[in-house]
Amino acid sequence: MRKLFLSLIMLCSIFGLTQAQKSKPIAYPSEKAWLLTNKPQTFLLGFNIGAEYVISKKLSWHTEATNHLHIITSKSTALSTSLKWHFLGNFGKSLYFQPKLFSGFFYDKTLIHDKPYFAGLGLSLGGMHPISKNKRWFLFYEVGFKAPVFFGNRPNSSSPYFFIKVFEAIEFLYFSSASPLDCSIGISFCL
């Protein structure tokens, strides 16, 4: 119940931040704009919702919340923020470089030595392309690496069994919000 309540609070706060902005017609991509983003591949694990603010044709700021509550054994919540530099093309149809800051926590089981919290830095390369004629819907894809640092203490939250440890390691590398591999595909909608 606590997990669901925390998830709903995070979802509502991010949605509220994006809705609090005054909406106006956008002369894509020259004016500043807000985008609502999502990574559909996370629906099996939980939710992912983000907001992106277009600063200029070459620069945008992105923040997102990810919550992995289903299927995987190490349920977690993470927040991240990044700055996207659109070095090839302009915002909306470009390749970009993205330095990222992230932090989060595991609810019950932890992956690394009973340490429930993590934070770190990441670097990604990505691309963004419009997928609608009115240039309000975009497809983005990213490939990168993150360097998480684990801290805190929650005794006896890791499993002592070898096979479960192997499964958790695979889960950590590919599905965890603290995963060092940062590969994703997402959809954005321009508000």
User: Residue 114 has what DSSP assignment?
Assistant: T
At 55-97, the pLDDT tens digits run 988 999 999 999 888 777 778 899 999 999 999 998 889 999 9
For residue 172, the SS3 value is helix
Alpha-carbon span 59 to 96, nearest angstrom: 9
Q: Where are the beta strands (DSSP E) in 27-114?
A: 33-38, 46-54, 59-68, 76-90, 93-106
Name the residue among 121, 118, 131, 120 with its Cα closest to residue 185: 131
CB atoms within 10 A of CB 117: 17
Query: Helix (H, G, I), strand (E, B), or coil: what is residue 116?
Result: coil
User: Burial code of 21-47, b = ≥16 C-beta within 10 A, e = fewer?
Assistant: eeeeebebbeeebbbbbbbeebeebbb
Domain ranges of the chain: 2-11+32-190
Summarised one tens digit per residue, pLDDT across range 130-157 is 999 888 899 999 999 999 998 888 776 6
Q: Phi/psi zone of residue 89: left (φ > 0), alpha (ψ -120 to 50 degrees), beta?
A: left
Cα separation, 34 vs 53, whole angstroms: 5
Look up the CATH architecture of domain 2-11+32-190: Beta Barrel (2.40)
Answer whether residue 6 shows pLDDT above 60. no
State pLDDT tens for residues 152-190: 887 766 655 544 567 677 777 777 888 888 888 888 898
pLDDT at 128 > cutoff 60: yes
Q: Please report which confidence band the pLDDT of residue 3 belongs to, taking 50, 70 and 90 as the band edges.
A: low
